[in-house]
Structure formats: structure tokens, C-alpha cells
Structure 1
């Protein structure tokens, strides 16, 4: 008997589909070729992405129709965005070569007791760091994307510790993706062997405590 094939389309509730569209719009605006790994099991869809800040972002969404066979596929943010319709129907886009940043996903359990916080208390810290980067970047001799001087500046700022010991790059990514907003919503920071995690009501951001051997460049988008 042949094995049942993975689904080629998924159905989300319309409201959840619109939330996914908004998330993918942010990712694609940041970098259209941001790798995105979608994992569907039973009635849940997990969307992992690797935006250009050495982090993994994650959102979880319910499915309106369960899947009988697990789906695990990697594509680009822009391609996935184009495949999601307003009614929540998602057509699985063509698979791209798996991105190294998403080859190993964060663990689901064994996280230590979280440190609680409030989103609105974190936003000023992130916004101040963004303003500092823009101010100092304007004064570098070579401000072209990927220049060594600009990369050193980005690394200096975004590797600084922030809330719960998370590097500022994780908080900046959360702010850029709409996970952090200037309100009273609750969030938390927690650790696990090899990882740190920011959990918000809108999504999660993970960062490795030991960076990959071939560390990609930090990209800062205005």
C-alpha cells in the first residue's frame, strides 16, 4: 500500500488567514526571500521564519480542516504570501532548498520558568536602539548594505542584552514583525539549552545562545 501524500492545500478560518497574510506581508517587506518553514499537524499550523536578524520567528494558527498527513515544507515569504487567499485557503507553494537557519527548530518543551514582562515597557528600549543605529549609521564612511563598518555597528547594537537577557536583535525582530506593540499585553522571556525565547500574545521569537559556525550578516531594515 502506498503512503498517503502530504496535503497540497490547507484551510484556515478566514480571520486566522488574514492574520497570516499580515504576518507574511511584514516578512516579505523585510526580505521577500525570507525562508519560511510551514508545519501542519492535525488541526494546527506552525509557521517558522528566519528574518535577517539571526532569529527564528514563530506563529501558530488553527486549521479549519484537519490534515491526516503531516506537512513540513520550506518556501519563501513572498511565495507563501501569494498562496494565501482572503478566505483562508492556503495552496502549498513549491518547495525550495531548506535553509540552514530553519534546519533545526527550537524545542517545544524543557523551557525554564519564564520572566514576565509588559510589551509597552519593552518598546521604548527597542525604538531607542533603532534610533541610535540610524544616527550612527549616517556617519559611517561606507553605508552600503553589507559594508564591514555597518556590520560592526549592527553587531554592536543588536547583540546588547535586553529584556530577560534576550539580545536586542530578538526584540527588534519582534517589534518589526508586530509581536511587540506599545500596549499592556503580557510577554515573557525564557531559556532552554542552546536557546532563548520571547513569547508574546502575537507570536514568538527564538535566538540561539550559540550562534551558527557560518554566522550570516546582521541586516537592519529601517
Structure 2
């Protein structure tokens, strides 16, 4: 068993526990990939409803090195918020997404991203549109495939001229990365990747090649 991780502040443990709870809301059997080094822990997860990878970082008291995939539920059980530490569970076999992460460096600023309040408004409007279109379907067309088609049409729309899919913003809000209208946001690019960054986490989108969404630490 790996030695417990000790957080620099008990609030770091609280925030990580909240993030894991959100992941487990979407997948009770969720696994997360942990990477630690240089006093920082990054926790990657993949909520299936959004087909994205999500990450939350936390500051540690030491420079412990770690790279492992574990059960999100067991990791949550091992977090002692009052003590500011996490007892790590045994590693599990990593799912395919755990080996596909965006680059750690080489990011550059991309202009044109609206403020958080506008992004949250766009997500709210898209959710309302999806519900309206789904509710308007004739009874014989109210299938999972038809609802998925409507969802793909809405969530693949891009935010202004940035090329960032609206689904990335939706994921960021649902996972707690856009908790309020005044949250600072930024958009970065590295190679084929776009990265929506907030103080609470980042969502990165691969815009060419294999496609799909992923997340990297802030």
C-alpha cells in the first residue's frame, strides 16, 4: 500500500472529495488516474455522460511521486478531510482513456473566449433547447438514438470563433469548474488541443486526429 498523501490544506481534501463525488454521480464504478510530483496531485476522471476527461489538482505537503489508476469510490472513502490526508487504495487496471492525455507544456493563449457568465448562459440555453426538442418528438421517435442525435447537434456547436465545442463548457460547469458567473476563464492551445482553464480545473479538446475530449491540470 502506498503511503498516504498529505494535503497542504484541509480545504484541498474537501475540494477533491467534492470532485470525486461528482464523478461518481455519473459513474458509480469510476476509476481515476493519479499523477503526483513537485508538490502537486492531479486527479483525472472520465464521466461517461460527457465523454470528457476531467481533472482536479491539489497541493501536497511533500514532493511524493505517484502515477497510478485507482477506484474513485475507494479513493473518496480514503479521504480524511479533517486530517487533510488521503489513504490510497490498491491500483486497478487502467481504462483506455487513462493513457490519452494532452501535453503538459507548450500552451499558448487563444483570444475570443467569452466571460464565464456568458458561457454559463450558453449552457443554460442549450440545455433548454435540448429539452424542448426532445419533448417535441413524436411518440414513435422518442428513442435514445434520436435524443443522442439532438444532443450531438447541440453540443458540437462551437463557442464563437474559438473552435471550442459547447460540450466542453457544459462539462466544465457540471463538474464544478464554473461555479459562479465571475470565475476567471481562459482558452489555451497546444498542437491539436484546445484547453478551457479555470481556477478549479481544465477541459481540453482534441480538435484533430482521434477526436474526443480530455482534461489536463490547470
Q: TM-score, normalised by structure 2?
A: 0.84
Pairwise mapping of residues 68-87 of structure 1 onto structure 2 (< 5 A)? Answer: 70-86=65-81, 87=83
Is the Cα contact below 8 Å between 2:10 and 2:84 reproduced in 1? Answer: yes
Aligned to 2:23: 27
Instruction: Give how far 1:178 is off.
Output: 1.1
Whole-angstrom distance in 1 between the partners of 2:142 and 2:24: 23
Instruction: Give how far 1:211 is off.
Output: 6.3
Aligned to 2:149: 152
Aligned to 1:96: 92
What is the SS of the residue equivalent to 1:66? coil
User: How many residues align structurally?
Assistant: 206
Is the Cα contact below 8 Å between 1:188 and 1:198 reproduced in 2? Answer: yes
Is the Cα contact below 8 Å between 2:23 and 2:46 reproduced in 1? Answer: no
Aligned to 2:2: 7
What do you get for the CA RMSD once the two structures are aligned? 2.3
| Cα distance, 1:142–1:36 mapped onto 2, change above 3 Å | farther
CA offsets, 1:31-54, max 9 Å, x none? 223331111113110111122222
Is the Cα contact below 8 Å between 1:195 and 1:207 reproduced in 2? Answer: yes
CA offsets, 1:149-178, max 9 Å, x none? 222122111111125321111100001011
Whole-angstrom distance in 2 between the partners of 1:88 and 1:50: 25
Instruction: Give how far 1:142 is off.
Output: 5.7
| Cα distance, 1:81–1:158 mapped onto 2, change above 3 Å | same
Unaligned runs of 5+ in 2: 214-218
Aligned to 1:37: 33
Aligned to 1:219: none
Instruction: Give how far 1:126 is off.
Output: 0.6
What is the SS of the residue equivalent to 1:186? coil
CA offsets, 1:85-140, max 9 Å, x none? 11222111222221212212111111222335421121000111111122222344
Whole-angstrom distance in 2 between the partners of 1:135 and 1:95: 43
The partner residue of 2:45 within 40, 44, 49 is: 49
Instruction: Give how far 1:15 is off.
Output: 1.1
Is the Cα contact below 8 Å between 1:117 and 1:186 reproduced in 2? Answer: no
Aligned to 2:216: none
Whole-angstrom distance in 2 between the partners of 1:76 and 1:171: 26
What is the SS of the residue equivalent to 1:65? coil
Q: TM-score, normalised by structure 1?
A: 0.83
